Amino acid sequence: MRSVWLDTDAGFDDWLTMLMLGVHPDLRWLGVSVVAGNAPLPVTLANALRIRHHYQLRVPIFAGRPSPLNAPLQTAEYVLGPRGMRTAGSYLPDVASSPDGDDAVAAMLDALNRSPEPVTVIAIGPLTNVASVLKAQPSIVSRIEELVFMGGSTDRGNHTPAAEFNICVDPEAADIVCQTPGLKRRMFGLNVCRQVLLERQHVEAVQAWSGERARWLADHFDGYQRIRSADGVVPMPLYDPVVTAWLSDPDLFTFQPARVDVEVEGRLTRGMTVCDFRVGPSRAANVEVAMTADGAAVIEAVLQAARKHC
């Protein structure tokens, strides 16, 4: 049984990640820390609470950092809309629910310290909360089995030509995470997520499911898949659920060790993950970088998990 903690900025693909964690038979899900990213913290927190309520997930949720460590917050609302989730129809209904606490950093530290075994920390948003944990208690590294994060890229970006969104929102936090000694890290960047493509056939499969929970998912699948083209003809990469797909079936991915550094000063390259695969005795690797994915199998795993909640 693996103990896990999820750190998220609760958008649509984060929603799918939460559903996958909720049905994984071999995980002990300790908690969720929410961070600003896809949208401001009040929005991402409300999204996480809606997902928990409507899909009956039994996990505590905590409000985390509302802004990056050393920069104004950038969000993806210009792409995803004011709720940080694109939909072609209905939104998840509002709920009268509150988080289990307003200090996610303290909650994560407590969970890591109390766990009988080291915890796998899954980070699928900006790394502000995770970096804050490492700064608050550097020795907590010994309680982390592995940090598995969706972010960065071995090649081009998406938020800027050079930088992936999650890293670009808080490069200083990502730099702390990548430079922390003794921390085992596994990176799922844009290069591998672009091998996991959501197509119209997948949206239509979800639209054929029955029930209200299925309809909410179908509307958001539809809206998300149309981000690249209004008619949905162009496939859309699926990002955050690749992490939970790996937890379920590591054989779907291949990895390569690299030295990963985060650019925090570049005028055109701020937030870029510089991945150097020329590792050896004089330049040690600090991250296992996902290089290939069985995209079709990952999509199928996501749909199967979502179907169990509908």
pLDDT digits (tens, 9 = 90+) for 114-153: 999 999 999 999 999 999 999 999 999 999 999 999 999 9
What predicted TM-score, i.e. pTM, was given to this entire model?
A: 0.97
Residue 270: CB atoms within 10 A of its CB come to 17
pLDDT digits (tens, 9 = 90+) for 178-200: 999 999 999 999 999 999 999 99
**Domain spans of the chain, in order of start:** 2-307
Is there a contact between 302 and 238 (Cβ–Cβ < 8 Å)?
A: yes
Q: Quote the tokens at residue 193.
A: 């997520």
* pLDDT higher than 90, residue 282: no
60-81 burial, b at 16+ Cβ within 10 Å, e below that, comes to ebbbbbebbbebebbbbeeebb
From CA 102, how far away is CA 41, in angstroms rounded?
A: 11
pLDDT digits (tens, 9 = 90+) for 71-100: 999 999 999 999 999 999 999 999 999 999
226-247 burial, b at 16+ Cβ within 10 Å, e below that, comes to bbeeeebeebbbbbbbbbbbbb
pLDDT of residue 280: 87
Average pLDDT, the chain: 97
Is there a contact between 24 and 16 (Cβ–Cβ < 8 Å)?
A: no
Write down the CATH number for the domain with range 2-307: 3.90.245.10
From CA 55, how far away is CA 186, in angstroms rounded?
A: 28
